[in-house]
């Protein structure tokens, strides 16, 4: 391979991946035929799981390497186009693939913060980071901090932040892998986690970045086919046009009409009142749980006794007995149940208009919603431009020129999925509002029953007012169901559901791989090689890197198998942390020669610190952890939600770096030269900072 | 190494382009986002405009901006003789 020129290399990559994509489509068609001939669904699930993971394993094994530059940065010869695909897969996680459209379904316009935030951040990557980091050309993001700001302090904070952000994120990915595996194969969740872990490790263990890059390209191809196929099909059925991103306006208009009808429909109001009554009732009971529990239990017992005494019909007695055995065992169990019922109040509201921005009961509430929307967009964008596993990918292109193009391709490939998700949400809403609502409970669509059986949190429909007709307020859809059920709603065979699962798995595996590698590399390269033993041999460095990869993977899988409760919050928090820790120090490091070591160290610490402080004061789980008891409302600044704490951390980080830098001596001549070096793709007689 | 006037001019032009693109990014994201409710009054092909900008419009602009920057910068590199050679 070493004798190949870059152009030949690119040619053969194109050939191999075209063959691969063709082969994969042929595989799906074969399975579709097999399904028609009677292959059971569970086997289709197995086929997808083992075939795709097997494929990734093969690529992983073929890409094994003992070369440091190959291991850390894939030999720096990944063409812009392919690096774009790899970044796309690296970026799009299980949450993007499976959860995003569902989030948009539930939140309407306000969910678009994720769509804009997770794409607009690439503009910052392109303008401020990718080309300069590529010119710098070492192995990790802490590398840049260490080199630019000197000493081990800046590097250490970088390592800490990189591990913090990536670890919470990777736990969520492994959790996603476990969930998908168990849903589609019927394996237990814990087993699913470790099967998935195997899938992750075969991609990265032997070949590091090189293996991860080429499997990520393969994973991107699968995930994008799996995402687009059902949506396009659904779009053709509903709007008679195969480009849903342009044509779902029709469906959106219909949805808006239906929202107005549903809002005033007497049957809907009846169901909403039932829900509201239940919620109010539960709230009252929660005020004095012990008394309410005793009273309820006595009433249930009395009812049974009365029925028996009156010689009531046996089915009535049986029902009363059943409700008594189902009665919560103690006050705590009853409290949990009432707290849940109190939450029904949320469902008692009429549907929120899908396209309406910043919903609130009055102008003040709407303004806070708007502020939070924009703050979240800001944190997600700056966080995107600061997450080490993404920035690292731009070290792998052959040149600065290709690094610039590569950001464009990255966003293009991400964009294909992200600009489809809002249309998918509306198309599914159209189907639910026009077909499911108003249909009879006797003939619910098949997908409802089949997914409720897999996992009742995904979908549940109960006839609350007993009229035999489905009302919107009677339907509860989990976030993930929107993508999972699309193939069935569109009337596609089960094989497409299997394909969607394979796509979700590819999204989770690829992201997990990128993250694991980031953590292991920060520890092996930055901590071990740069700080502990700079004279370590190549062989020893790689051995350490691979060992750490295994250890980190095992820890992450163990945490994931505990099903940590606040995983979603942690993932979103990772963006605020990355934004506050890295973005100001990286950008000023490139664009402001005066930025000094002390400035960067204190700026990073201050940014991280205030972000963490704000979250600890306002986020329920962290408040519990740190024993914060003062009212949340007193601790809020401008009503900003804890998830967007980075909106304070980033400006503070910039301010501290600037002020402290001006108070401390300017960086030495060597650092000044380094900055000039990264600013120009090529200077005659220039220094060379590329790591070997 | 000493930077020449031309090198400095290259950097100034880069900064100017970066600033303009950043301004566009800001307007598309935050100004349009701020007025989303008002822009939603305008409906085109069934799409409230503010909603469509958040869901699709802004994304399309981001993609175009990044490619535009790459193409312009790669040209600028050659013009100012700071482009990398092969490898």
CB A44 within 8 A of CB A372: no
Strand segments, DSSP code E, in A469-558 are: 475-477
HEC readout, A328-342: CCCHHHHHHHHHHHH
pLDDT surpasses 80 at A133: yes
pLDDT in tens, A248-272: 888 898 999 999 998 898 888 888 8
**Whole-angstrom Cα distance, residue A371 to residue A369?**
5
DSSP string, A616-671: HHH-HHHHHHHT--S-HHHH-STT--GGGTHHHHHHHHHHHHHHHHHHSPPP-HHH
Radius of gyration of chain A (CA): 27
Averaged pLDDT for residues A581-586: 95
- pLDDT confidence of residue A480: 86
pLDDT surpasses 50 at A494: yes
Enter the tokens of residue A536.
Answer: 């370590």
**Whole-angstrom Cα distance, residue A421 to residue A118?**
13
CA-closest candidate to residue A671, choices A597, A604, A587, A598: A597
CB A87 within 8 A of CB A408: no
**Whole-angstrom Cα distance, residue A86 to residue A74?**
12
Q: Answer positive or negative: Cα dihedral of A421, A422, A427, A432.
A: positive
Would an 8 Å CB–CB cutoff place A267 in contact with chain B? no
**Cβ-nearest to B36 among A109, A249, A673:** A109
HEC readout, A113-132: HHHHHHHHHHHHHHHHHHHH
Contact residues, A window 400-439, toward B, CB-based 8 Å cutoff? 400-401, 404-405, 407-408, 411-412, 415, 418-419, 422-423
pLDDT in tens, A351-401: 888 888 888 888 888 999 999 999 999 999 999 999 999 999 999 999 999
The pTM for the full model equals 0.90
**Cβ-nearest to B1 among A357, A400, A683:** A683
Contact flag B70-A405 (C-beta cutoff 8 Å) = yes
Mutate to test the interface with B, among A587, A680, A689, A690 (most CBs of B within 10 A): A680
**Whole-angstrom Cα distance, residue A69 to residue A78?**
12
List chain B residues with CB under 8 Å of A412.
Answer: 63, 67
pLDDT band at B45 (very low <50, low <70, confident <90, very high): confident
Contact flag B46-A408 (C-beta cutoff 8 Å) = no
Would an 8 Å CB–CB cutoff place A359 in contact with chain B? no
- The CA distance from B11 to the nearest CA of chain A, in Å, is 8
Averaged pLDDT for residues A283-312: 82
List chain A residues with CB under 8 Å of B53.
Answer: none
CA-closest candidate to residue A544, choices A528, A557, A560, A530: A528
Enter the tokens of residue A498.
Answer: 């299997």
pLDDT in tens, A23-37: 999 999 999 999 989
**Whole-angstrom Cα distance, residue B32 to residue B45?**
19
Neighbours of A205 (CB within 10 A): 21
**Whole-angstrom Cα distance, residue A385 to residue A501?**
29
pLDDT surpasses 90 at A647: yes
pLDDT surpasses 60 at A247: yes
pLDDT surpasses 60 at B87: no
- List Cα–Cα distances, A306 to A293, A316, A545, in angstroms: 20, 11, 72
Phi, psi of A480 (to 5 degrees): -75, -20
Contact residues, B window 40-69, toward A, CB-based 8 Å cutoff? 40, 44-48, 50-52, 54-56, 58-60, 62-63, 65-67, 69
Averaged pLDDT for residues A133-154: 89
The whole-angstrom distance between residue A133's C-alpha and the CA centroid of its chain comes to: 25
- pLDDT confidence of residue A381: 95
- Collapsing DSSP to helix, strand or coil, A575 comes out as helix
pLDDT surpasses 80 at A441: yes
CA-closest candidate to residue A95, choices A539, A445, A418: A418
SS3 content of chain A, % helix, strand, coil (to 5): 80, 0, 20
- Collapsing DSSP to helix, strand or coil, A73 comes out as helix
List chain A residues with CB under 8 Å of B87.
Answer: 6, 398-399
**Whole-angstrom Cα distance, residue A491 to residue A487?**
6
CB A498 within 8 A of CB A372: no
List chain B residues with CB under 8 Å of A105.
Answer: none
pLDDT band at A227 (very low <50, low <70, confident <90, very high): very high
Q: Compare all CA atoms of chain B with the CA of A374 and give the residue at the minimum distance.
A: B30
Would an 8 Å CB–CB cutoff place B35 in contact with chain A? no
- pLDDT confidence of residue A692: 60
A461, β-bridge pairs = A475
Enter the tokens of residue A262.
Answer: 């549903």
- The CA distance from B78 to the nearest CA of chain A, in Å, is 10
List chain A residues with CB under 8 Å of B28.
Answer: 120
Q: Compare all CA atoms of chain B with the CA of A244 and give the residue at the minimum distance.
A: B56
Enter the tokens of residue A108.
Answer: 């309407």
Q: What percent of chain A has pLDDT over 90?
A: 36
- The CA distance from A586 to the nearest CA of chain B, in Å, is 16
Would an 8 Å CB–CB cutoff place B5 in contact with chain A? no
**Whole-angstrom Cα distance, residue A330 to residue A572?**
36
Would an 8 Å CB–CB cutoff place A399 in contact with chain B? yes
Helix runs in chain B, H state only: 5-26, 32-34, 36-39, 49-52, 58-79
Neighbours of A29 (CB within 10 A): 11
pLDDT in tens, A1-20: 456 788 888 999 999 999 99
Would an 8 Å CB–CB cutoff place A370 in contact with chain B? yes
Would an 8 Å CB–CB cutoff place A2 in contact with chain B? no
**Whole-angstrom Cα distance, residue A548 to residue A110?**
40
pLDDT band at A625 (very low <50, low <70, confident <90, very high): confident
pLDDT surpasses 80 at A537: yes
Mutate to test the interface with A, among B59, B65, B77 (most CBs of A within 10 A): B59
- List Cα–Cα distances, A110 to A107, A383, A419, A607, B47, in angstroms: 6, 19, 15, 27, 16
Across chain A, mean pLDDT equals 88
List chain A residues with CB under 8 Å of B47.
Answer: 249, 252, 355
pLDDT band at B86 (very low <50, low <70, confident <90, very high): very low
Contact residues, A window 202-261, toward B, CB-based 8 Å cutoff? 245-246, 249-250, 252-253
pLDDT surpasses 60 at A501: yes
- The CA distance from A166 to the nearest CA of chain B, in Å, is 26
Contact flag A377-B29 (C-beta cutoff 8 Å) = yes
**Cβ-nearest to A401 among B33, B37, B83:** B83
pLDDT surpasses 90 at A569: no
A477, β-bridge pairs = A459
Q: Compare all CA atoms of chain A with the CA of B58 and give the residue at the minimum distance.
A: A116
pLDDT band at B77 (very low <50, low <70, confident <90, very high): very high
- pLDDT confidence of residue B76: 93
Enter the tokens of residue A43.
Answer: 């086997």
Conformational region of residue A202, where left means phi above 0, alpha means psi within -120 to 50, and beta covers everything else: alpha
Would an 8 Å CB–CB cutoff place B11 in contact with chain A? yes
List chain A residues with CB under 8 Å of B34.
Answer: 370, 374
**Of A207-211, A277-281, A649-653, which has the strongest mean pLDDT?**
A649-653
């Amino acid at each position: 391979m070493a004798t190949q020129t870059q152009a030949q290399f690119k040619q053969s990559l194109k050939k191999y991946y075209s063959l691969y994509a063709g082969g994969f489509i042929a595989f799906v068609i074969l399975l579709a035929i097999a399904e028609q001939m009677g292959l059971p669904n569970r086997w289709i699930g197995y086929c997808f799981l083992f075939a795709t993971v097997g494929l990734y394993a093969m690529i992983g094994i073929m890409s094994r390497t003992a070369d440091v530059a190959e291991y850390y940065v894939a030999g720096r010869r990944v063409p812009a186009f392919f690096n774009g695909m790899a970044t796309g897969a690296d970026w799009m996680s299980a949450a993007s693939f499976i959860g995003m459209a569902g989030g948009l379904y539930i939140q309407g316009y306000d969910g678009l913060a994720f769509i804009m935030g997770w794409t607009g951040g690439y503009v910052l990557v392109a303008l401020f980071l990718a080309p300069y980091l590529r010119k710098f050309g070492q192995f990790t993001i802490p590398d840049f901090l260490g080199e630019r700001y000197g000493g081990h302090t800046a590097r250490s904070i970088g390592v800490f932040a990189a591990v913090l952000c990536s670890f919470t994120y990777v736990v969520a990915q492994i959790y996603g892998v476990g969930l998908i595996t168990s849903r589609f194969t019927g394996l237990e969740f814990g087993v699913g986690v470790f099967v998935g872990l195997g899938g992750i490790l075969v991609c990265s263990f032997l070949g590091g970045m090189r293996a991860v890059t080429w499997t990520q390209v393969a994973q991107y191809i699968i995930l994008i086919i799996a995402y687009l196929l059902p949506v396009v099909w659904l779009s053709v059925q509903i709007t008679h046009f195969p480009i849903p991103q342009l044509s779902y306006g029709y469906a959106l208009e219909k949805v808006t009409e239906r929202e107005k009808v549903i809002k005033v429909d007497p049957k809907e109001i009846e169901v909403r009142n039932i829900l509201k009554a239940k919620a109010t009732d539960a709230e009252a009971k929660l005020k004095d749980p012990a008394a309410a529990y005793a009273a309820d239990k006595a009433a249930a017992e009395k009812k049974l006794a009365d029925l028996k005494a009156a010689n009531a019909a046996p089915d009535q007695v049986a029902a009363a007995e059943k409700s008594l055995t189902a009665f919560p065992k103690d006050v705590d169990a009853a409290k949990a149940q009432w707290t849940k019922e109190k939450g029904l109040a949320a469902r008692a509201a009429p549907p929120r208009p899908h396209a309406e921005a910043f919903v609130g009961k009055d102008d003040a509430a709407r303004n806070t919603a708007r502020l939070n929307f924009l703050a979240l967009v800001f944190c997600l964008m700056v966080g995107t431009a600061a997450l080490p596993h993404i920035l690292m990918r731009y070290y792998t292109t052959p040149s600065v020129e290709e690094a610039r193009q590569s950001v464009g391709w990255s966003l293009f490939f991400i964009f294909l999925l992200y600009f489809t998700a809002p249309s998918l949400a509306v198309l599914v809403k159209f189907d639910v509002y026009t077909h499911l609502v108003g249909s009879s409970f006797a003939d619910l669509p098949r997908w409802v029953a089949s997914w409720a059986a897999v996992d009742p949190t995904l979908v549940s429909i109960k006839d609350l007012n007993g009229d035999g007709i489905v009302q919107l307020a009677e339907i509860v859809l989990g976030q993930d169901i929107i993508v999972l059920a699309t193939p069935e709603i569109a009337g596609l065979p089960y094989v497409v559901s299997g394909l969607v699962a394979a796509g979700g798995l590819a999204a989770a595996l690829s992201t997990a791989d990128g993250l694991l590698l980031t953590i292991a590399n920060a520890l092996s390269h930055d901590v071990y090689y740069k700080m502990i033993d700079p004279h370590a041999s190549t062989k020893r460095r790689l051995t350490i890197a691979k060992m750490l990869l295994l250890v980190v993977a095992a820890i992450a899988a163990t945490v994931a198998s505990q099903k940590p409760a606040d995983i979603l919050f942690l993932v979103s928090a990772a963006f605020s942390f990355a934004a506050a820790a890295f973005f100001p120090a990286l950008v000023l490091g490139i664009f402001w020669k005066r930025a000094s070591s002390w400035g960067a160290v204190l700026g990073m610490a201050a940014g991280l610190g205030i972000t963490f402080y704000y979250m600890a004061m306002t986020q329920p789980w962290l408040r519990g952890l740190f024993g914060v008891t003062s009212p949340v409302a007193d601790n809020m600044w401008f009503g900003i939600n804890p998830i967007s704490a980075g909106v304070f951390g980033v400006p503070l980080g910039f301010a501290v770096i600037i002020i402290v830098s001006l108070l401390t001596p300017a960086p030495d001549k060597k650092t000044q030269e380094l900055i000039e070096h990264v600013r120009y793709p090529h200077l005659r007689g220039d220094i060379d900072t590329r790591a070997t | 190494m000493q930077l020449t006037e031309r090198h400095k001019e290259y950097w100034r032009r880069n900064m100017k382009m970066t600033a303009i693109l950043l301004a566009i990014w800001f307007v598309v994201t935050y100004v349009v986002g701020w007025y989303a409710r008002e822009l939603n009054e305008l409906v085109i092909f069934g799409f409230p405009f503010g909603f469509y900008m958040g869901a699709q419009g802004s994304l399309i602009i981001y993609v175009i901006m990044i490619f535009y920057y790459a193409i312009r910068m790669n040209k600028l590199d050659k013009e100012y003789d700071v482009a990398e050679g092969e490898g």
